[in-house]
Chain A
Amino acid sequence: DTAVSQTPKYLVTQMGNDKSIKCEQNLGHDTMYWYKQDSKKFLKIMFSYNNKELIINETVPNRFSPKSPDKAHLNLHINSLELGDSAVYFCASSQGPPTGPWGYTFGSGTRLTVV
């Protein structure tokens, strides 16, 4: 039973399209995250939600909009996709707020390719 699951695993789409990536965790954690891994393998935080409240909102284009319908789900919607959005997007969760003394659990990633 997967702890943090993301769908889809792969997404190939054309420039200008709008797409969503879904994430669900069954760990009972309060906080969820989106990370982006670029072509050089660097992982950077994009957003964090704690109990459905946005608490980390890094400098990303406003074409990216996270939504958390409940604390077990965090989706990422991307409008007007650009070539530079191609990357692997990871969802993660943690027991409590981002700065606390607990580990983060990551999903298996969604590889987004914009053509």
Chain B
Amino acid sequence: GIQVEQSPPDLILQEGANSTLRCNFSDSVNNLQWFHQNPWGQLINLFYIPSGTKQNGRLSATTVATERYSLLYISSSQTTDSGVYFCAVVGGADGLTFGKGTHLIIQP
């Protein structure tokens, strides 16, 4: 099945910093989503972005499908941004396949 690799696995930043999270995938995809799992365990859909660029407030995402990667940008980080960020793709018959996530901690 398709492989999804996220980097970095862990990231600790001060409030106000910017960050870039990366997702590499091993095959062509027709669905790519970024999720934020908050400290209470809820999975929040951030972006549906199989290609192109989208922005939502302080967050933006870019997927370059031909080069098989996606980037999630977080600007002016806040403590509420803490949690685990997952990239997930659909590239075969297995449905949405998740990466192992990036654990982000924003310190005040």
Contact = CB atoms under 8 A, between A and B. Distances in A.
Interface of A: 33, 40-45, 48, 56, 58, 88, 90, 92, 98-106, 108-109, 111
Contacts of A40: 100
Contact of A103 (B33, B94, B101): B33
Contact of B100 (A41, A99, A111): A41
A41 B37 contact: yes
A109 B42 CA distance: 7
Contacts of B103: 41
Interface in B43-62: 43, 45, 48, 50
A90 B97 CA distance: 14
Interface of B: 30-31, 33, 35, 37, 41-43, 45, 48, 50, 84, 86, 88, 90, 92-98, 100-101, 103
A102 B31 contact: yes
